[in-house]
Structure 1
Amino acid sequence: MIDLRQIGAAPLDLVADAAECGALAARFDLVAIERLEARVSLVAEDATVTASGTLRAAWIQSCAVSGEDLPQATEEPLALRFVPATDDPAPDSEIELTADDCDDIPYSGTQFDLGEAIAQSLGLAIDPFACGPQAEAARRAAGILPEEATGAFAGLAALKLGKD
């Protein structure tokens, strides 16, 4: 949690400990999270806080096809904007959202949860259908054969499968 009154000019280095990595691995259905860290600079303009920086993570997930352990990693930019929560509109009222509104993370009081925003950024970086090197062999063993290519791509498919 970050308190608005404590925001300074120096970037923040956030590193998830082993318990946090374990909890996030369970939350995201991963085998393990080996590393989750972020370096974030915060800029406050009135009650709106812009957070920018870099997310670095390494995790092990199960291959979507074979179930084997599949090491993954990411290093990607972070761009988050925390805004004061507004009153909910009446249930039947019409609201209009702009593209910028979709990226806002509302908070109440004087604190916002930067750690949760980083965890959600990690969740978005995980490919839920990642396949490992044994995926094709597992498909064949299960009798799942590739669809027959037709037309212009039939020749390419035959080359890929080793057919003449």
Structure 2
Amino acid sequence: MTHPEFARTLRIHEIGAPVRHESLTATKAECAALAKRFDLVALDALTAELDVHRSAGAIRVAGSFHAVGAQPCVVSAEPVPFDLDDVVEVNFSDGARVADEEIELTDDQLDELPLEGDTLDLGELVAQSLALALDPWPRAPEEIRAAAARHLISEAEAEALAAADKAAANPFAVLKKK
């Protein structure tokens, strides 16, 4: 079993009706591990402010997170900075749903997850929320993409280099030259 990079667990039996405020801050090592997990150029900061409380067979987690870092551009792989502020709102429910049963969800049920085990990992919830909030197709500004494109070679040049490498790797290439 792998351990989450940003684990901040609460024991479920310790969560009651009064609102419990949790402030989370990822360490440099945790940010580096999350950056690797989500294929980011860098994750400089990740913080969250969450309120947790139990109500009617569910545990409600609501708040926000802030993340600063950079993603690779999908065109040039150049860093594309991000500065995200996003909301986290999830209900963890005791009731299990039948997997084969087709159900219709209302808007307030869309962010409902089952409770698993005896702990709730707020850090992993924030990490997954970050992953969902990231731009799936980050693009660097045009001038940066243009500068990166000047270092690219054409398909014909790439094929010629690959053919030369293949020929040089052939052990009989020396005999062919004679």
**TM-score category of the 2 structures, normalised to the smaller one:** 0.7 to 0.9
C-alpha deviation, 1:105, in angstroms: 1.4
TM-score using structure 1 length? 0.73
1:158 equivalent in structure 2: none
Distance 1:45 1:10, change over 3 A: closer
TM-score using structure 2 length? 0.68
2:165 equivalent in structure 1: none
Post-superposition CA distance 1:42-94 (Å, at most 9, x none): 121143011111110001111121221222110122211111252644xxx43
Query: What pairs up with 1:136-151 in 2 under 5 angstroms?
Result: 138=148
Distance 1:10 1:84, change over 3 A: closer
Residue from 76, 81, 90 that aligns with 1:66 = 76
For 1:18 and 1:135, locate their aligned partners in 2 and report how far apart those are by CA, in whole Å.
29
Residue from 84, 88, 100 that aligns with 1:78 = 88
2:135 equivalent in structure 1: 127
For 2:93 and 2:58, locate their aligned partners in 1 and report how far apart those are by CA, in whole Å.
5
Q: Is the 8 A contact 1:65 1:138 kept in 2?
A: no
Post-superposition CA distance 1:102-150 (Å, at most 9, x none): 311112233222211111110011112111121355569879xxxxxxx
Residue from 37, 47, 68 that aligns with 1:37 = 47
Runs of 4+ residues over 4 Å off in structure 1: 136-143
CA RMSD between the two structures: 2.4
Q: Counterpart of 1:25 in 2: which secondary structure? A: helix
How many residues align? The count is: 140
How many percent identity over aligned positions?
Answer: 34
Q: Is the 8 A contact 1:85 1:108 kept in 2?
A: no
1:117 equivalent in structure 2: 125
- Listed as ranges, the gaps of 5+ residues in structure 1 are 144-164
Q: Counterpart of 1:121 in 2: which secondary structure? A: helix
1:102 equivalent in structure 2: 110
Q: Is the 8 A contact 1:65 1:139 kept in 2?
A: no
Q: Which has the larger radius of gyration?
A: 2
Corresponding letter in the other structure for 2:51: S
For 2:74 and 2:59, locate their aligned partners in 1 and report how far apart those are by CA, in whole Å.
38
1:159 equivalent in structure 2: none
Distance 1:18 1:35, change over 3 A: same
2:61 equivalent in structure 1: 51
For 2:20 and 2:115, locate their aligned partners in 1 and report how far apart those are by CA, in whole Å.
22
For 2:72 and 2:97, locate their aligned partners in 1 and report how far apart those are by CA, in whole Å.
42
- Listed as ranges, the gaps of 5+ residues in structure 2 are 1-8, 154-178
